[in-house]
A and B are shown apart, each in its own frame.
Chain A
Amino acid sequence: MTKKIVIPGELVTEERKRLGDHVFVRDGKIYSDVLGLVEEDPKIASVVPLEGTYKPKLNDIIIGVIVSETFSGFMTDINSFYNSFLSKEKVNEPLRPGSIISAKIVRVNEVNEADLDDVRVFYGGEIISLSPVKVPRVIGKNGSMLEVLKKGTNTNFIVGRNGRIWAKGGNMELLAQAIEKIAREAHQSNLTNKITEFLAQQRNVLMNNNAK
């Protein structure tokens, strides 16, 4: 099946379908409101954006960075429209600006402000950033891409739905390269195999260099 790339204002379909994400109606026809790929579905017209800010969703796991401390909590940057407030009651360990945490989104209001819970603090490691809309590709169907990345780099990493990946140990540089490759080719098919090959190639190069 071919997926069509559309820009804002471009026609998606003239058929009378149900309205899904990122479409709007004008004069009885359905148009896209973002730069994205048209979902193939006979009943629903929707577009998957190729770019965009992270919109917090209930129960998503995200990676946050502490920005500042207030009397009762911490302002946390979750790479979205607003920073999230994290109450001190939810966190036992001392946090300071720059601390990295993973958390679950437990509440989202009408203006897309999010509340966090289930906080885990990370020490050391690095954050790899990518566009939030590409995160599903990094996870893959049933976590298939995650497996490939874990086996191929030996790195311990957590993927946040907000487009942040915390990684520690193993070959972090190779992981960053692989993530970049996934982000660039996210709209193409057969990505899991391509990444498996890429990681194997890079490991061979490394082994050959070490052997010299």
Chain B
Amino acid sequence: MTTKEEKEKKKEKEEKKTYVNKKGLRLDGRTIDQLREIKIMAGVLPRANGSAYIEWGQNKILASVHGPREAIPRHTANPYKAIVRFDYRMATFSVPERKNPKPGRRDIEISKVCGEALEKAIFLEQYPNTAIDVWVEVLDSNAGSRVASLTAAAVAVADAGIPMRDLISSVAVGRIDGTIVLDLNKDEEDAPDAVDMPLGILPNTKEIVLLQMDGLMKKEEFDKAFELGIQGCMQVYQKQIEALKKKYSLEENIVKGEQNE
């Protein structure tokens, strides 16, 4: 076979991929409304004010929080409220092709949207003139790293004892091969007509703090995806609650004792 024929045959094979088969199962065996396995641990970095580690499918992400602390350089300080400096970085080994450590446009974009999301949840007015540094490092990436980062960052901020009106629960929803599915993995994200829609909400009020879309959807598709996304976020919220309360769940019965002098 010549190289041209080989390439055509390969293309044919690829086009025949069924992302959702007749039984309603996806490439990795999940149903269309099923999340990948998520594990969250809070308080993993002793030297940070707050921290969290999340494994979401193949994603492995570490989030650390420092602050509220003095905002330096001073001209960035806001006399009415704290500022959030969210820094999303990917380790060079987190993807198959070495990622250049210098933040690219995607890293800056994710840092911006995630930082702005956190600003809606944190009671910033309680700490004027300070900065809250949230640093997220992706150690292993497999689609949905921004929603996993935001989910972990929210746990880390709570772990730091910074007052918030709610946690932020975040999930990616999208359309592949004409079907609306929850939590796309890398293979699904790379599908030819895939549209990926990361969504982040405050779980108790369902207020949207992050919403992006990287393709075109009909309104009916969007409505369906949005509903599915909210359901997914609420499932993620349960995992976040577990992670935060796990540290203290050893003894449920606590007596008023030396705590109150």
Contact = CB atoms under 8 A, between A and B. Distances in A.
A145 interface: yes
Given A2-B252, A22-B163, A34-B163, A192 B123 contact: no
Interface residues of A, number: 45
A35 B65 CA distance: 15
Given A3-B254, A5-B245, A51-B161, A111 B123 contact: no
Contacts of B202: 9
Contacts of B240: 7
Given A34-B163, A144-B258, 5 more contacts: A3-B254, A7-B167, A136-B260, A142-B261, A190-B255
B258 A145 contact: yes
Instruction: Decide if the interface of chain B is mainly helix, strand, loop or mixed.
Output: loop
Contacts of A22: 163
B225 to A, nearest CB: 25
Contacts of B2: none
Interface stretch (B126-134, B175-183, B185-193): B126-134
B123 A81 contact: no
A50 B248 contact: yes
Interface string B156-168: 0011111111110
Given A9-B204, A51-B159, A188-B251, A82 B257 contact: no
B259 interface: yes
B257 A190 contact: yes
A202 B130 CA distance: 43
A137 interface: yes
Given A34-B163, A83-B70, A187-B248, A136 B261 contact: yes
Interface of A: 1-3, 5, 7-9, 22, 24, 26, 31, 33-35, 37, 40, 48-53, 81-83, 110-112, 133, 136-137, 139-142, 144-145, 185-192
A189 B245 CA distance: 18
Given A7-B245, A111-B129, A2 B259 contact: no
Given A9-B167, A111-B129, A51 B50 contact: yes
A140 B70 contact: no
Nearest to B203: A9
B1 interface: no
A49 B166 CA distance: 15
Contacts of A49: 161
B69 interface: yes
B120 to A, nearest CB: 12
Contacts of B254: 1-3, 37, 187-189
Contacts of A192: 258
A52 B160 contact: yes
Interface string B215-259: 000000000000000000000000011001100111111111111
A49 to B, nearest CB: 5
A187 B260 CA distance: 12
B68 A34 contact: no
B230 to A, nearest CB: 16
B205 to A, nearest CB: 8
B49 interface: yes
A101 to B, nearest CB: 20
